[in-house]
Amino acid sequence: MNLLIELLAFAVAIGVLVVVHEYGHYSVARLCGVKVLRFSIGFGKPLFQWVSPKTGTEWTIAALPLGGYVKMLDERETSGAPIPVDMLPQAFNRKSVWRRFAIVAAGPIANFLLAIVLFALVFATGVTEPAAVVAAPAPNTPAAMAGFDGGETIVAVRTGNAGESEQVRSWSDLRWKLLGAVFDHKRVVLSAKDAHGTSDFQLDLRGLSEKDVDDDFMSHLGFEPGGGKLTVAGVQPGSAAQKAGLAAGDRLRAVDGIPTDNATAFIAYVKSHAGKPVTLQVERGGPAGQAGQAAGKLEDISLVPQSQRDDATGQQVGRIGAELATQVPSIDVRYGPVESLQLGARRTWDLAVYSVRMFGRMIVGEASLKNLSGPVTIADYAGKSARLGPSAFLSFLALVSISLGVLNLLPIPVLDGGHLLYYLVEAVTGKVVSDRWQLVFQRAGLACIVALSAIALFNDLARLIHF
C-alpha cells in the first residue's frame, strides 16, 4: 500500500511540475507569435495524442513520464520540406533575441510562480507546527553561549540592536529567519519569554560560514524543539534499558541532572557516553507505566549505554535500546491572503537562493555530493508527504518546483540556462553563437547532466540499501 501511495504521489508531483514548466514555455511562445507544433508530457512512444483545431498544436502524453518538451516551429530543426514562406514569421529562430530569451526563461519562472502559489495556499489555509520553544542547548553551542537554558519561547527576532523586530510564530518560522541570518553573517537578537518574563538573547552568527549550513544547522546552533514530553515508546529485549527497568510509558525528565525534553539531544548525550554510567530521572505511573508505581512518581535509574558501531560514521557510540516518542507543544499558524502571498514569495526566494548556494558549495567541494537526490528519493518523500496530509504534500511540491526551476536556470548547455547564456552572448556581441560551438557546448552539457544523474541515482541506491 505504501509503495502504491509513493508511486501515485510521485506521478502527480512530476505531472504537475512538468505541465507547469512546459506550459510556461508554451504560453509565452504563443504570446510572442511562435507556432507550437507539439506539447508533450513525457518522452518516447505516444500513448495519447490530440491536435487542437484552433492552434494546430499536437498535445501528447508519452510512455516515459520523466519530463516533457514543447516543440516550436524552427528553421534549424526542419526535416524534409522547408517551412512555407507565409509561416516563417512564426518560426522561433526568426524572433528577436529578447523574445527568445523570454520564451526559454518562462519555464523556470512558471515553476517559481507555482511554488509561490502553493506556499501561499499552505499559509492561508493554516498548518499545525511545533511552537518556538527551545530545549536545553548542548554546551558550547551558539544557543548556550547566548544564555538559553531551555524552556524559553522565542517570540521575535531582529538584526542587531537597531534592526526591526520580526514576529516569530512557530519553530519553522524561527528556522527560516535564522537561516537567512546565517547566510548573511549577521548578529541577531532573539526575544524570548519564560516564567520570569521576556528577555533578549544576543546570537552572533558572523563567524559561521556557508559550509556550516546543512539540513541539521539548527542543531549545530544548539536549537532543538523543547517544552514537550519525552517518553519511552518501547524497550528492546536484552538491552541496557530493559535491564535497568525502563518500560513503555515512562517519561524521561533528566539525564545526569540535565533536564531533557528533546529526543535528539537525549540520543546525542547517550551516544557520547558509550560504556559510561548515566542516571536517568524518570516519571512513571498510570496504565502505561511500570506496574505498582504511583502516578507521577519520580525515580532515578542508573544504566550503562552499550557500545555499538554506528553505521553512518563507523565509530563506537552508546545505545540503551529504547524507542522514544516526543510530544512537543504545537500551534496553529494561519495568515491572511496578502500576507500569505508575501510569505510565499519570500519562502520561494529563500529556498532558491539556498539551492544555488548549496550547488555552488558542492562544485567547490565545501558540501558533499550526497546532497543530490534522484527520482527514487523524490518518490519516497512524495509518498511520505502525501501520508502526512495536504499541507505537507503541497509544501513538498513547492520545494521540488523550486529545485526544478533553479536546475533549469543553471548555465549548462541542454538546459534552459544554457540557451539563456547563448542569448545573452548574442545580445552583447550582436552575433549568434555558431552551430559548431553550440554542438561542442551541448556535448559538454550533456556529459554534465549524465554525470549529475548518475551521482543522484547512486545516492538514491545508497540511501535505499544503506551502503
Instruction: Tell me what percent of the chain is helix, strand and coil, each rounded to the nearest 5.
Output: 45, 25, 30
| Nearest partner of 271 among 229, 310, 223, judged by Cα | 310
Q: What are the grid coordinates assigned to 73, written together?
A: 516551429
| Nearest partner of 320 among 332, 307, 329, 333, judged by Cα | 307
- CA dist., res. 242 & res. 438, Å (int): 67
Kindly give the interhelix angle for 435-465 and 375-388, rounded to the nearest 10 degrees.
Answer: 60
Residue 22's φ and ψ, nearest 5 degrees, are -70, -30
The DSSP secondary-structure symbol of 286 reads: S
SS3 state at 197: strand
- Three-class secondary structure assignment of 78-141: CCCCCCCHHHHHHCHHHCCHHHHHHHHHHHHHHHHHHHHHHHHHHHHHCEEEECCEECCCCCCC
User: Which positions are catalytic?
Assistant: 22
Contact assessment for residue 62 and residue 81, using Cβ atoms and an 8 Å cutoff: no
